[in-house]
Amino acid sequence: MQDNIDTEKDSRAEIAALSHEVYRLTKKIQDMEQKQLNDSMPDKFDPFDNPTEYKGFNTDYSRIQPRITEPGYELPLEPDYTERKNLRKYYNIGGGCLLFQFIGTVGLSMILIRLIMSVLGYMHPGLASRELYDYARGSSILVTLNMLVYLMFNIFTAFLGMKLAKIKSTSLIRTSDFGFGHAFQYCFIGLFIWTVSLYITTGLSDVFSKYDIDILINSEGLAETILGKVMSNIYTSIIAPITEELLFRGMLLRVLSKGNQRFAIFASAFFFGLAHGNIPQFMLAFLIGIFLAHITMKHGSIIPSIIVHMFINTFSTVMGAVSEISTTVSIIMYFLLVIGAIFGAILFFVFCADDRLPQTTPKQTTRGVYIAVSSLPFVAAVVVNVAYGVYSLLSK
């Protein structure tokens, strides 16, 4: 009797052990199948498998192509209707916001200038319109007006675009792998790019002058009062770098980088240049814009680009002010500029050796400029800004 009981217990133990082993093997097979399934699915944060791009700057691509989460799905060379429509939506947001910013700043500035001129005319009925305008231009009135208008529209447009594109504002300042050494390197690289743009502008000015076209900026008589100079320097060195980076590297770069980071870098830099409305500043803004967009992607934040932007604007302001003291001081400043530019050039080539611009895969080529040109707001933003720049140049 006892032997039968022991045998039954042994059998139950063996059955329990076998059941456990079957469960373990089944679980192992299921895990292997799941792993194979996951391996067959593209990474929704790196759908194009592009090792040259900054993966940390990418967002969830399943919002653009929901099928990317399907097992075994592979993005085709040409985007389908859904993917094309969703990508175009972001290009519409970027272009539409820039159109809004352009119309808002130009329109409001014209209205306020007319209002100010009317008030000044009422206060000084004996002065001609040109005299009133020269007074407003030489005082702090116009420069303060310009600062307030761009401050308001740059910030509002940036947050409007981020709201429409569902971009969290906190993502703009989450900086990774950035320290004092990087800031030092980037500022001198920016100085090098600024110097290069000066030489390019000088060459272009010589070419245009043969056709009696002056492309240089005429700041004579602008903000000559102490308060005017203070407001101008505050805007140039602080307000403009923060608000422009928020708009162009904060909102626009992220909106345009959904399918192609390289396209986003050059497109945002191009719009950044156009926004300045003249050839000299376009050259600087476009060239420095490429670099600022690059380091923004690298560190995932606009903090590095704000620092470099502030440094360049402040340096150019100080350079212009100090050079007016005497010829000797001007020569010394130019010598220091050349030394700094050479040092910046060395740092630039060191930077390029380690951190090159993201490249474009064949699939990304069909998701960048080819879709952007089908976006009416995007194209309209280009046309309007170019037309305004040409008008400003010819009206001189």
Domain for residue 385, yes or no?
Answer: yes
* Domain hosting residue 112, numbered range: 86-395
Domain for residue 64, yes or no?
Answer: no
Instruction: Read off the pLDDT of residues 308-325 as tens digits, 9 standing for 90 and up.
Output: 999 999 998 888 787 777
Give the Cα separation of 34 and 188 in Å (integer): 50
Query: What is the rounded average pLDDT of the residues 193-198?
Result: 93
Domain for residue 113, yes or no?
Answer: yes
Instruction: State the pLDDT at residue 16.
Output: 61
Length of the chain, in residues: 396
In 3-state terms the chain splits into helix, strand, coil percentages (rounded to 5) of: 75, 0, 25
Domain for residue 335, yes or no?
Answer: yes
Domain for residue 314, yes or no?
Answer: yes
Query: What is the rounded average pLDDT of the residues 40-50?
Result: 80
Domain for residue 217, yes or no?
Answer: yes
Query: What is the rounded average pLDDT of the residues 85-108?
Result: 96
Give the Cα separation of 15 and 13 in Å (integer): 5
The number of domains in the chain is: 1
Residue 347: pLDDT over 90: yes
Residue 255: pLDDT over 50: yes
Domain for residue 135, yes or no?
Answer: yes
Domain for residue 96, yes or no?
Answer: yes
Identify whether the C-beta of residue 129 lies closer than 8 Å to the C-beta of residue 113: no
Instruction: List the Cα angle 51/162/274 in 5-degree steps.
Output: 80
Fill in the DSSP letter of residue 276: T
Residue 184: pLDDT over 80: yes
* Span of 2-6, 175-179, 199-203, 300-304 with lowest mean pLDDT: 2-6
**Alpha helix positions (H), 257-368:** 261-274, 279-299, 303-323, 327-354, 362-365
Residue 39: pLDDT over 90: no
Q: Helix 303-323 crosses helix 327-354 at what angle (to 10 degrees)?
A: 160
Instruction: Read off the pLDDT of residues 64-85 as tens digits, 9 standing for 90 and up.
Output: 999 988 888 889 999 999 999 9
pTM of the model: 0.88
Query: What is the rounded average pLDDT of the residues 152-168?
Result: 96
Those residues with Cβ within 8 angstroms of residue 206's Cβ, 6 or more apart along the chain or in another chain: none
